Structure 1
Amino acid sequence: MGTAAVITLLRPGALSVLPPLSLYIHLPWCLRKCPYCDFNSHEWAPKTPAASAPQGGASALGRPGGGLLASKTPASPAIGHVPIVPANTREGLPEARYIDALMADLESALPQIWGRRVHTIFIGGGTPSLFSPASIDLLLAGVRARLPLEPDCEITLEANPGTFEKDRFKGFRQAGVNRLSIGVQSFDDAKLKVLGRVHSSDQAKAAIDEARSAFDTFNIDLMYALPGQTLAELDADVKQALAFEPPHLSLYHLTLEPNTRFATQPPKGLPDDDTAFDMLDHLIAANEAAGLHRYEVSAFARKGHQCLHNLNYWQFGDYLGIGAGAHSKISLPDRLLRQVRWREPQAYMDKALQGQACSNEHDIALSARPFEFMLNALRLKSGFEFSRFTERTGLTLAAIQKPLAEAEAKGLLARDLQRAWPTARGFDFLSDLQELFLA
């Protein structure tokens, strides 16, 4: 080892091992912006009515979605025979130019991740399945040409139910996607209307049936504590979801996020906190009885079907984010780098094609690393290994000993000689637990 390398490793916060690397790809367009959505999504209105426009896409609340791929990523076949969104409904959606921008963005980022293999890919939005299977095939072929992927790389596409052509999901599977995350949110048509969703309960069921036939693993997103929702209505929703025997289920409490329509025009009839807690307890019990175990605050999975992509987030792994508004966290031997891409799709395409996709970037300060690590790690029921904290932050355990002791004293956290994990109370009051680690 050269002198410069030795000096680098002796610096406070230097990393001796780089974490696993994931790739996040953001496709920003959707048919309608949901009133609770605070993602970087942009409405795109086709000339034909929304009800007749094939769709799929953004899972309601988040990047969680589930499952572990069951087979190796297939070679990228020609899929011109697969039905795609009719040209008249896709008119104006700049798929080709956006993919060109994504490839330019990726090429500009390569020096920061040179030689590293990608463990997982997540295509989120927006509504990624507004893009045709042929476009997703082109996108993934471009990624493979520029990045080395692990042989069993998990590749997820978010999809919303809707009137899609039969075999559309099979087209995405042939393009190389091996896990689907379906944003159902509810099987109650009245609740779907309140949430601003553009699909019906019947369309949701049809989409899940299609996913089951095309994929070895998939996730269903559901929301609870909806306006006017009763425990009986929630029970009907979760029973319907579990009837499909999903490998993974993500359950999200409806929250009123800033800069959303619900924040300025709150819906009526939201359940109170006690009712919401009762709903969560019911969901946990129903999932456990069905063989789906809670491994993260909002995620339940059968054995072997945890979401590898989101696990990498929660374990403070690295991720390169490309696409409008995408975020990155990249570890370098002497620093941790955060980046954000331009948010507005047209501006992003223009800038990315000029080699300037990032709107800003900054290093994560040493003082901020403990909280950033704990913010993610405490979402996992299994918690974290102390050795991983040191490996991923470059800091010793002394940086978090005081808040660890305080959290343990409050009954929010338990630990042994190797690891720490949130207690049941810590899971229930996760924000309080996380705040103890603020610098």
Structure 2
Amino acid sequence: MRNPPLSLYIHIPWCVQKCPYCDFNSHGQKSALPEAEYVAHLLDDLAEDAKLVGSRPVDSIFFGGGTPSLFSGDSIARILQGVKQRVNLASDAEITLEANPGTVELAKFGGFKAAGVNRISIGVQSFQEQKLKALGRIHDAPQAEKAAYFAHGVGLNSFNLDLMHGLPDQSLDDALYDLRQAIAQSPPHLSWYQLTIEPNTLFASKPPTLPMDEVLWDIQERGHALLAEAGYVQYETSAYSRPGHQCRHNLNYWRFGDYLGIGCGAHGKITQADKGKILRTVKVKHPKGYMDLSKDYRQEIKAVEQDDLPFEFFMNRFRLLESCPKDDYEALTGLSLDAFAVADKLDKAVQLGLILEDPQHWQVSEQGKRYLNNLLETLL
């Protein structure tokens, strides 16, 4: 068993208002944000988790939310300065911050870059006013275009546009219009994913009318062709990039890498190869409880049961379209392929045409890519 690369996830839980499709741990902003107080708690939280990883280098950082761009550049700078004092941050670390187009302007992007952020992920979701309103977004199409313009202007290493399809009452033409508008902004990276109705959201209690399956499939096929024609390469189920601009942080997740998770409700995964186990951590979810000095930041820390590891590994790894080295399975789980009948399950997936294999690798097939849930069910 070996320790994989290590990342750091930092959760900022506040947003201007909760979107009806969102099941993330986010809280609508009702008053001035307690930035300084929350930053102090984040760094104390990190100091505790840093004990689990020692001097292992942190190769990437991701500020997620909520809406991290509600915080000032100074607050982000204080966080990153504190991170460097508590963990071994790689000199070439990728540092991403999620931004809502309705919460940024050029000066703020400049402040984030000065703080050390070198990659921005902009939550556009759509370029059509009607669809943005249906999704509960606070920005309009011109603000989305302006945010992309700012990202180009401040000279970041890279930036991403988040775009959704399968929106309420969306036609094929609507979806392709959004995609063409996104491509026109020339982002180095595009996350293009289908809206799904998640439990405990407003959309779950009041479901909108979503496109039929045939329309969804047409959108995916035509959209993929459009992205390929524009020079974007799909490297994960919902991720496309220009050469050299894959998201290193998310690649580490999907390759079954490790990550510290700090902030309200953040999850972490830490391998302790010398002890032959993998830990999962979960932080206190609500900001009030998280910032209560009488309580621990951790809500839970536990070792992953060995019989859960095979599915966890493949659930992540088979989202990627790159081949998976067979040696990674034993090295990152500590298990042989004979344990829990994993070899038999993989053989069945090969027979069903869901994965391809050679002596050294497994590879998701085109059929496996289309029917990923079926592939994962085969491996349960």
Is the TM-score greater than 0.5? yes
1:226 aligned to which of 163, 167, 179: 167
Q: Is the 8 A contact 1:413 1:423 kept in 2?
A: yes
Query: Residues 310-389 of structure 1: matches in 2 within 5 Å?
Result: 310-332=250-272, 333-334=274-275, 335-350=277-292, 353-354=293-294, 356-389=296-329
Query: Residues 209-224 of structure 1: matches in 2 within 5 Å?
Result: 209-214=149-154, 215-224=156-165
Q: Is the 8 A contact 2:268 2:281 kept in 1?
A: yes
**Are residues 1:245 and 2:186 paired?**
yes
Per the alignment, residue 21 of structure 2 pairs with: 36
Per the alignment, residue 9 of structure 2 pairs with: 24
Write the distance in 2 (CA, Å) between the matches of 1:110 and 1:299: 30
Write the distance in 2 (CA, Å) between the matches of 1:118 and 1:125: 20
Q: Which blocks of at least 5 consecutive residues in structure 1 are unaligned? A: 1-14, 47-91
Q: What secondary structure is seen at the aligned counterpart in 2 of 1:112? A: coil
Note the C-alpha offset of 1:163.
5.3
Per the alignment, residue 30 of structure 2 pairs with: 45
Query: Residues 12-411 of structure 1: matches in 2 within 5 Å?
Result: 15=1, 17-46=2-31, 92-162=32-102, 164-214=104-154, 215-268=156-209, 270-332=210-272, 333-334=274-275, 335-350=277-292, 353-354=293-294, 356-399=296-339, 400-411=342-353
Per the alignment, residue 421 of structure 1 pairs with: 363
Q: Which amino acid aligns with 1:212?
A: H
Q: Is the 8 A contact 1:189 1:201 kept in 2?
A: yes
Note the C-alpha offset of 1:25.
0.3
Write the distance in 2 (CA, Å) between the matches of 1:264 and 1:354: 36
| Structure 1 residues 184-228: Cα deviation after superposition (integer angstroms, max 9, x where no partner) | 000001000000000000100011100111213100010001111
Write the distance in 1 (CA, Å) between the matches of 2:136 and 2:30: 15
Write the distance in 2 (CA, Å) between the matches of 1:366 and 1:309: 25
Aligned length: 375
Note the C-alpha offset of 1:342.
0.2
Q: Is the 8 A contact 1:105 1:355 kept in 2?
A: no
Q: What secondary structure is seen at the aligned counterpart in 2 of 1:392? A: helix
Q: Which amino acid aligns with 1:259?
A: N
Note the C-alpha offset of 1:165.
3.5
Note the C-alpha offset of 1:244.
1.5
Note the C-alpha offset of 1:282.
1.2
Q: What secondary structure is seen at the aligned counterpart in 1 of 2:282? A: strand
Structure 1 residues 164 and 180: alpha-carbon distance in aligned structure 2, compared to 1, 3 A threshold: closer
Note the C-alpha offset of 1:166.
2.9
Note the C-alpha offset of 1:354.
5.0
Write the distance in 1 (CA, Å) between the matches of 2:269 and 2:294: 22
Higher relative contact order (CA closer than 8 Å, sequence separation 6+): 1
Q: What secondary structure is seen at the aligned counterpart in 2 of 1:162? A: helix
| Structure 1 residues 241-299: Cα deviation after superposition (integer angstroms, max 9, x where no partner) | 1111111100110100001000010013x101111011011111011111110000000
Q: Is the 8 A contact 2:289 2:295 kept in 1?
A: no
| Structure 1 residues 102-129: Cα deviation after superposition (integer angstroms, max 9, x where no partner) | 1111111121111111000000000001
Q: Which amino acid aligns with 1:35?
A: P
Q: Is the 8 A contact 1:102 1:322 kept in 2?
A: yes
| Structure 1 residues 287-334: Cα deviation after superposition (integer angstroms, max 9, x where no partner) | 111111000000001111101100000011100000000001000122
Q: What secondary structure is seen at the aligned counterpart in 2 of 1:397? A: coil
